[in-house]
Amino acid sequence: MKDAWSSDEIRKAEEPLIAAGEPLMARAAYGLAQVVLREVALRRAEGRAGTADGARQGRARLRGSLGSDGLPGQARVRPGRVVGRRTADAGAPGGRGDVRGAHAVLLVGPGNNGGDTLFAGAHLVRRGMTVTAVLASARAHEAGLAAFRAAGGRAASLADVRVPAVVELALGADVILDGLVGVGARGALRPPAGGLVRALADARDAAADRWPYTVAVDIPSGIGVDDGAVPGPVLRADRTVTFGALKPGLLLPPAAQTAGEVELVDVGFPASPASGAARRNGVARHAWGTTDPAAGRVLRLEPADVAALWPAPGARDHKYTRGAVGVVAGTSTYPGAAVLAASGAVLSGAGMVRYLGPEVVGTRVLLARPEVVVAGGRVQSWVLGPGVPALDPDDEGPDDDGQARRIFGALAAVTGVLSEDVTGGRMPAVVDAGALTMLEHRLPPSVVLTPHAGELAELLRGLGHEVDRTAVEARPLHWARTAHQATGGTILLKGAVTVVAGPGDVYAQADAPAWTATAGAGDVLAGILGTLLAGRSRAVVEDETLAARLAAAAVLVHGRAAARASAGGPVAALEIARAVPAVVAELLAGADPA
Ligand SMILES: NC(=O)C1=CN([C@@H]2O[C@H](COP(=O)(O)OP(=O)(O)OC[C@H]3O[C@@H](n4cnc5c(N)ncnc54)[C@H](OP(=O)(O)O)[C@@H]3O)[C@@H](O)[C@H]2O)[C@H](O)CC1
Ligand SMILES: [K+]
């Protein structure tokens, strides 16, 4: 499990360590320098092994290979391994790791983030690199600047050299370190740092593969550390070297998409409660008392977490104990969604899938999946709405083949409006597509709404919020939480990074390749989640935080299945469902089906 700490929590963790004289900044700077030396050396070695003009070509080739493992874009935002205080041979003179003569440009802000960067710059100079620091503010970390200059680094004030000259300098460099602001950042970058970053970001877009390797120090400067917003200019990084713990903005969209690969340097913080070490030691990060546990942490599930959650059958299980999923999806106009949702449910291991809908659609579902029972009966979860048109209150006779009536009936059961004598007890549900327009009562968290940004905006407008799709995409965490509070349901907001917000922790999952943004993929996800909810139906109703965890698990499996079906190319939704059994098998065997 990846576990992000807010800026407030980071400060609380630092305080006692700094008071005890722990050299946090020295550790951060050393770890940062080791990563930079390694990456520069790697690119130079690639360049030497290549054909023509050395390092620059090698850099372009290697950058192209990042994310080409079937997870384009996503592999780049997944946090990397903990490097701690590395002793890698990166940068060894004359060897494969030779970095002598390579050029680094440091963007240095006024605080400790700039201090980390300057101390790291001093390490780079000592390894034979040419390093230029651009001081973006009238102030700079005094000891850091002194150490940098003493090592032989060159420092220039932005006021003297001006933005266009810095852009030129950057274009000629091998690596750029963005150390303008870290966890002390407040809001969009102000001038002159904001103007500098905007110019560099534009130059990066224009230069494409000719742009130097870019490393963000702790965070990409300008992102919202705690909410993942991108309120102004940000220089997109190839890698973020972050200190002590992940920050929410490195996991949450849209900021997570500016961070590149995230690598954690251990500066001596206690382990987080999400880690095995913390569980063993009984360390609780909330012991510092700064975090409101009700606000929830920002987490990302990993394969082992999902394996532990998956309702794998035991020897005594039969189809009813494993859970029956009731699917109300599709119309005669949109029959495909019913096939996809039912396939997602069947192939992720439901004990039974029941389909409710028009006969013509039921026949198609049976043709694709003969395991499905096209008849009503007891179920342990509902999947409501894929391929069902939105309710139009002005349209007296919507062409929905009676699906809205069936959905209203199921919703009355899951929201507890009908007597349990009638419904046989509460059960969880997935509410997707057209069913999102049919909500009349406050929902329990065991009901998971699965909108994309446009659908969430529409839902929120119906609840009195002035918001459109762009606004939701700019602040997904905020609007997902708002929708949870307003409806009571758990919100799974679909996107390149999917956010799940319920009564407890928030999950930010980045598992799927960009190819997954295709018609029908969401129907498959709804089916997978239906199976997970049915497998733990009673527990989901009793534990109000479980639906969000299972929703995040479904997103991981769906994303990994999409990556497998895609293999780096286009993917059709039904192929995602077909890839699910192998992905689940690998998860349960303890492998990482990346
Ligand atoms: N404390 C330690 O020993 C360690 C810290 N580490 C690193 O330190 C940063 C956090 O450092 P801090 O000095 O608290 O803050 P920052 O460097 O992130 O930034 C503060 C300065 O930036 C200015 N600022 C804030 N927001 C903006 C903005 N939007 N635009 C422009 N400038 C901004 C702010 O100016 P004010 O006028 O607003 O006060 C400050 O001058 C942390 O991220 C680590 O990199 C290490 O981890 C090691 C241990
Ligand atoms: K930074």
Where in the chain are all domains bearing CATH 3.40.50.10260?
A: 22-87+100-267
Minimum-distance ligand 1 atom for the alpha carbon of 222: 29
With a 6 A CB cut-off, is 489 part of the ligand 1 pocket?
no
Give 116 Cα–ligand 2 centroid separation in angstroms.
10
Report the pLDDT value the prediction gives residue 393, as an integer from 0 to 100.
76
Q: Which residues are annotated as a binding site for AMP?
A: 494-498, 522
* Spatial contact of 445 and 548, defined as CB atoms under 8 Å apart: yes
Q: Which residues of the chain have pLDDT under 70?
A: 50-96, 271-295, 396-398, 419, 421-424
Give 37 Cα–ligand 1 centroid separation in angstroms.
24
With a 6 A CB cut-off, is 25 part of the ligand 1 pocket?
yes
Residue nearest to atom 5 of ligand 1 (CA): 112
With a 6 A CB cut-off, is 122 part of the ligand 1 pocket?
no
Interface TM-score (ipTM) > 0.90: yes
Q: Report CA Rg, the chain.
A: 26
Mean pLDDT of all residues belonging to the chain: 88
With a 6 A CB cut-off, is 16 part of the ligand 1 pocket?
no
Of 8, 35, 112, the one to substitute when testing ligand 1's pocket (max ligand atoms within 8 A of C-beta) is: 112
The strand pairing partners of 242, in sequence order, are 264
Ligand nearest to the CA of 107: 2
Give 247 Cα–ligand 2 centroid separation in angstroms.
12
Q: Which CATH number describes the domain made up of 22-87+100-267? A: 3.40.50.10260
C-alpha span between 344 and 580 (Å, rounded): 8
For residue 311, cis peptide bond before it (omega within 30 degrees of 0):
no
With a 6 A CB cut-off, is 455 part of the ligand 1 pocket?
no
Residues whose CB falls within 8 Å of the CB of residue 275, separated by 6 or more in sequence, listed in order: 1, 3
C-alpha span between 42 and 164 (Å, rounded): 29
pLDDT in tens, 392-420: 877 766 689 999 999 999 999 888 777 67
Q: Which residues are annotated as a binding site?
A: 112-116, 178, 182-188, 218, 221, 337, 387, 452, 494-498, 522-523
Residue nearest to atom 15 of ligand 1 (CA): 184
With a 6 A CB cut-off, is 273 part of the ligand 1 pocket?
no
Ligand nearest to the CA of 217: 2
Report the pLDDT value the prediction gives residue 416, as an integer from 0 to 100.
77
Question: Which of the 8 DSSP states describes residue 255?
Answer: G
Report the pLDDT value the prediction gives residue 281, as an integer from 0 to 100.
34
Residues whose CB falls within 8 Å of the CB of residue 367, separated by 6 or more in sequence, listed in order: none
Report the pLDDT value the prediction gives residue 396, as an integer from 0 to 100.
64
* Spatial contact of 498 and 489, defined as CB atoms under 8 Å apart: no
Report the pLDDT value the prediction gives residue 65, as an integer from 0 to 100.
26
Q: Which CATH superfamily is domain 303-588 in?
A: Ribokinase (3.40.1190.20)
Of 11, 12, 24, 113, the one to substitute when testing ligand 1's pocket (max ligand atoms within 8 A of C-beta) is: 113
The strand pairing partners of 213, in sequence order, are 175
With a 6 A CB cut-off, is 110 part of the ligand 1 pocket?
yes
Report the pLDDT value the prediction gives residue 423, as an integer from 0 to 100.
63
* Spatial contact of 406 and 328, defined as CB atoms under 8 Å apart: yes
Where in the chain are all domains bearing CATH 3.40.1190.20?
A: 303-588
Report the pLDDT value the prediction gives residue 96, as an integer from 0 to 100.
53
